[in-house]
Every structure is written in structure tokens, then in C-alpha cells.
């Protein structure tokens, strides 16, 4: 399988998170992310693009089964990006 280049398949902005960043602790179990309707549509398209790309890989191979979606939340920039990734071996 050719080496995949990490590139964003889409991104969106978010309005706020809760609990607030300052209140996050190692024991925090849930991070709520509030996204506007327009940005939720962008996120939906990005996730769909990634899933469609992943669906093209041969899942009968080890590399095909390891293919995954990576959702990255950038707290400083209030942004979410979608990229391809790999599950750990």
C-alpha cells in the first residue's frame, strides 16, 4: 500500500467547550464541543470524505484493517480537523 500523506480532509470551527479549558483535569471524562449548524455541516462532509476514502482500502489486508479516521481538536484555535490515520499495531 502506498504511504499516505497526512492531509486534512476537512475542518471546522467550534464555538465553545465545556468544561472550560482551565477546568480540565486528568479525571475529566467528557468534553462537550458546541458547533454551529454551518460548521457541523463542514464536519459532516469532512467525516464523510474520510469514510469514503477508507472504504476504498482492501480490508482483507493488515494495512486496510488498520486504516482509521483521526479527529483532532485544537483547543487554542477552536478548530477540528479530520485526517486519515492508522490504528496501533
3-state secondary structure 42-87: HHHHHHHHHHHHHHCCCCCCHHHHHEEEEEEEECCCCEEEEEEEEC
So what's the pLDDT on residue 1?
47
So what's the pLDDT on residue 6?
67
Q: Enter the pTM of the model.
A: 0.84
Give the whole-angstrom CA distance, residue 56 versus residue 33. Answer: 30
Residue-by-residue pLDDT tens, the chain, 89 positions: 455 556 899 999 999 999 999 999 999 999 999 999 999 999 999 999 999 999 999 999 999 999 999 999 999 999 999 999 999 98
3-class SS at 38?
Answer: helix
Give the whole-angstrom CA distance, residue 19 versus residue 10. Answer: 25
Amino acid at each position: 500500500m502506498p504511504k499516505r500523506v497526512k492531509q486534512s480532509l476537512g475542518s471546522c470551527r467550534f464555538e465553545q467547550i465545556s468544561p472550560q479549558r482551565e477546568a480540565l483535569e486528568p479525571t475529566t471524562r467528557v468534553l462537550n464541543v458546541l458547533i454551529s449548524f454551518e460548521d457541523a455541516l463542514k464536519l459532516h462532509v469532512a467525516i464523510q470524505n474520510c469514510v469514503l476514502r477508507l472504504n476504498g482500502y482492501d480490508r482483507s489486508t493488515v494495512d486496510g484493517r488498520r486504516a482509521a479516521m483521526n479527529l483532532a481538536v485544537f483547543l487554542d484555535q477552536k478548530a477540528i480537523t479530520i485526517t486519515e490515520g492508522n490504528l496501533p499495531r
